[in-house]
Structure 1
Amino acid sequence: MTDGARLGWTALGDRTRQPPVVMLHGGPGLPDDLGDVAAMVADLAPVYRYDQRGTGRSAWQGRHRLARHGDDLAELLDAWEAPEAVLIGHSYGADLASRICMAHPGRVAAMLLMCGPFTGDWHAAYRAERAARMSAAQRQRLRALKETPDRTREQETELLTLAWCTDHADPERGWHRAARDARRRRPVNWAMNRELGGEGQTHPLDEHLAELRACLPARTELLGGADDPRPVSALASLALRLGRPLTRIENAGHEPWSEQPDAVRAHLRRFVRDAVGAPGPGRSTG
């Protein structure tokens, strides 16, 4: 990057085709975890994924700002020789994609917002639903781990498992998925999480929805898991305010591709095919 940061990225598919798909992972402070999602559409368009600065293969010791993270993608598109891209953002990545769209509108050809961004007064409902999906002992243990300074590797894994186990529609499978992810999606950059989370609270996306709606590409959609503990009603409200469609994936939580891969694959392939003009069933390539 122009400020000296080095970002690690991965590409799938034929990189000569335009526009590419770029996937923006969640967090903030977590490494990229969208490999399974990228594989669903890599035959339709080249798919780029990258670890946001400060996570995974993208080491960074400086301060974190939302605008800088948006500029990172613009610089990556330059490096990939892509004038514009189809953005698919998940969770915090959907918030980041929205901010990138406002800062660099000419570079976003289409946008799919998955399980985010959540706007409005949704936190209380999320906390209540999350608590309802945990036992009293689990809630107590999670609070204790959050207050533990200098957590060991085992304690950090336990904390993340407890924090993520409620994100799934199926509680039993959700626990196993959360435990797996807690081992894989590490280390968490908690300083990055605090800095970007704090900036997001100080300058919420809610204050810019009119601006966002004005610069959205024509092909913009939202997708959410019907059983996400974050209220899907908040996504429905945002979709209404933006004038864009929302697709609910039944029997799925915050990572719908892990619980309903066939439904998510079908939706993503239709979206990407329409966004890039890729041929589909019954379409001529001539």
Structure 2
Amino acid sequence: MDGPRDETVTADDGVRLWATRSGRGEPLVLCHGGPGLWDMFTDVSALLADRATVVRWDQRGCGRSQRCAGPWTLERFVADLDSVRRHFGLRRTALLGHSWGAQLALSHALAHPERVSALVYVAGTGIGPDADWHPAFAENFRERLGDNQQRLSRWRELTDRPRLTQDEEREQAVLEWSVEFEDRGRALEHAGRMADPWLGINDECHRALDEERSRTWGTPELYAACRALDLPVLIVDGARDIRPRSAVDSLERALPRVRRVVLPEAGHLPWAEDPEGFREAVTAVLR
């Protein structure tokens, strides 16, 4: 298979999930970031199309998937990811997760290691508590957004409004997402690509899963589970990510079979700013 083909995955509770697959080679299922966003992996899929059969999907209640009332729990999303795997007839598959999706992919690998051939953990925040990274992230966010006073003023104006139109919601998101890129001259361009198409943020999903992570991540049980994970894991970081990369050290130390690649000139979406470095790192795992 080469060209993309949209499909509907039915989760075990009946919720319909959008999915598509393309490319050729070993199976690779992608888990997008958020929570509450949608698949933004068009460029990643194209980068890997000659090396992998790439499966992309929108998480429940998000993007092109069925709008629903949740439940918004990590356990539920792990089950949905497994429904995607079963739908495409994959006994085992490599997983690639980005940001929140890295947490989801890791959680699936911990729950079902026999169903995962390799894990690619991109721009995550490790397995420690939020205190390991969130204060520095918030400070870096303000500093990087503040490097352009016009953008900062407009973002503040939109953030202070009680209600936003759909176009204003997109504009606010693009301004926020622009901080994710090291190349400040192209930051708005890159962020605009993330928002095209604009499918709307599921804020309820975002809040619930963020709150669950803040309560449950960083436990001794999680560290022990990672130490027992007998799978090849690749950690890919952009050195200029505004989330401190030191937070990921906790995961790297725990995993028994891990390799880490840091792309020095990239931010939170490393494939956007160093596509060749990203492709080289990921295809090495797929080999």
TM-score tier by shorter-chain length is: 0.7 to 0.9
1:33 paired with 2:33, answer no
> Segments of 4+ in structure 1 off by > 6 A?
none
Q: Is the 8 A contact 1:249 1:263 kept in 2?
A: yes
Q: In the TM superposition, what is the alpha-carbon distance from 1:246 to its structure 2 partner?
A: 1.4
Q: Is the 8 A contact 1:6 1:58 kept in 2?
A: yes
Q: Is the 8 A contact 1:31 1:185 kept in 2?
A: no
Residue of structure 2 aligned with 1:231, choices 244, 249, 261: 244
Alignment of 1:88-167 (within 5 A): 88-120=96-128, 121-135=132-146, 138-139=151-152, 141-167=154-180
Aligned to 1:282: none
Larger CA deviation: 264-273 vs 222-231: 264-273
**TM-score, normalized by length of structure 2?**
0.87
> As a proportion of its length, which structure holds more strand?
2
**Partner-residue secondary structure (3-state), 1:46:** strand
Residue of structure 2 aligned with 1:172, choices 179, 185, 202: 185
Q: In the TM superposition, what is the alpha-carbon distance from 1:183 to its structure 2 partner?
A: 4.3
Cα shift readout 1:228-267 (whole Å, capped 9, x = no counterpart)? 1111222234312324221100110001111111111111
Unaligned 5+ residue runs, structure 2?
1-10
Unaligned 5+ residue runs, structure 1?
274-286
Alpha-carbon distance in 1 for matches of 2:44, 2:100: 16
**TM-score, normalized by length of structure 1?**
0.87
Q: In the TM superposition, what is the alpha-carbon distance from 1:11 to its structure 2 partner?
A: 0.8
Aligned to 1:280: none
Residue of structure 2 aligned with 1:23, choices 20, 30, 35: 30
Q: In the TM superposition, what is the alpha-carbon distance from 1:80 to its structure 2 partner?
A: 1.3
Aligned length in residues: 269
C-alpha change, 1:140 and 1:220, in structure 2 (3 Å) is: same
Larger CA deviation: 206-215 vs 67-76: 206-215
Q: Is the 8 A contact 1:101 1:216 kept in 2?
A: no
Q: Is the 8 A contact 1:9 1:49 kept in 2?
A: yes
Aligned to 1:9: 19
Cα shift readout 1:96-127 (whole Å, capped 9, x = no counterpart)? 01111122222111101000143431111111
Cα shift readout 1:188-226 (whole Å, capped 9, x = no counterpart)? 111111111111112115551221231241x11101001
Cα shift readout 1:169-200 (whole Å, capped 9, x = no counterpart)? 11121122223423434311111111111111
C-alpha change, 1:21 and 1:176, in structure 2 (3 Å) is: same
Cα shift readout 1:51-97 (whole Å, capped 9, x = no counterpart)? 11111221131122211110012122222111111001111110001
Residue of structure 1 aligned with 2:217, choices 167, 186, 204: 204
Identical-residue share of aligned pairs (%): 35
User: 2:201 is aligned with what amino acid?
Assistant: V
Aligned to 2:280: 266
C-alpha change, 1:170 and 1:105, in structure 2 (3 Å) is: same
1:82 paired with 2:90, answer yes
